[in-house]
Amino acid sequence: MKQLKAVIFDLDGTLLDSAADIRQAINATLADHGRRPLTLQEVRDMTGDGLLVQMQRAFAATGAPVSDDQSYSFFQGFIHHYRNQKPDPSQLYPGALDLMLALKQAQIKIGLCTNKQEAATRSLMDHLDLSAHFDFIAGGDTFMVHKPHPGHVQGVLDGLNVAAGDSVFVGDSRNDVAASQGAGVPCILVTHGYGHDVESLGADVMINGFAAFGDALNRLTFAGL
């Protein structure tokens, strides 16, 4: 069996159930402009293409869509609300931290590849005391491209200094499958995330929780942890 050298994770819906935090900041921004609040499910359904796009979708769902100039202006208000909230550490999905600790123990590198802006991602990781677990963090604005473009995943591989064939990607959405497989990295999809009809997305392996990660590695012919 092959030796695994790196695991690249998506963030929202994969490692972290961040919908409640995002909803709080989005609703505060919507309230600033006289819009109705979103439900938690509405926020989950809008997740996956970065915070700016998510906020644009929020405005479109609650009234007239906003112009590009308005989007960037309103987004600054969203970021202000988001950064001044204290995230709840319980948002990590069950088994996520244990898996990251096991990977570190096995000297397997850990990357983060999210469409959330890098500054917001790093701020959130610092709040949750998770930054030290990652060997490389790439947000949606770190490179010239972002998921579903495979260049986003390739940039993380380059940052980790590992080959695609020595890595796996763990995500929850169509964007994750397209970006990882496009870069030559096998994709493991979790079923607890925000993706829709995940069984039809073409992942290499699907798991119902992180306890099944070792079995997923075996199915991909990697040695277990």
Q: Is 10 a catalytic residue?
A: yes
The H-or-E segment that residue 7 falls in is strand 6-9
Q: Which two tokens stand for residue 4?
A: 């695994």
More reliable by pLDDT, 19 or 156: 156
CA-closest candidate to residue 94, choices 209, 172, 10, 11? 209
d(CA 48, CA 71): 18
User: Is the bond preceding residue 94 a cis peptide, omega within 30 degrees?
Assistant: no
Q: Is the pLDDT of residue 5 over 70?
A: yes
Structure pTM?
0.90
**Average pLDDT rounded to a whole number, residues 191-202:** 89
**What's the whole-number mean pLDDT along residues 200-222?**
96
Q: 176: exposed, middle or buried (C-beta count within 10 Å: 0-12, 13-18, 19+)?
A: buried
**Given this model, what pLDDT does residue 62 score?**
97
The predicted pLDDT at position 88 comes to: 66
More confident residue, 88 or 126: 126
pLDDT for residue 125: 94
Is 91 or 95 the better-scoring residue by pLDDT?
Answer: 95
Q: What is the CA radius of gyration of the chain?
A: 17
Domains of the chain as residue ranges with CATH: 6-17+89-219 (3.40.50.1000), 19-83 (1.10.150.240)
Residue in the structure block whose two tokens are 């990590």: 92
The mean pLDDT of the chain is 94
pLDDT at 83: 82
Could you report the per-residue pLDDT of 18-64, keeping only the tens digit for each?
888 899 999 999 999 999 999 999 999 998 888 899 999 999 999 99
Residue 197, pLDDT score: 84
Catalytic residue (one of 10, 12, 21, 135): 10
Name the percent of the chain lying above pLDDT 90: 80
Return the pLDDT at 115. Answer: 95
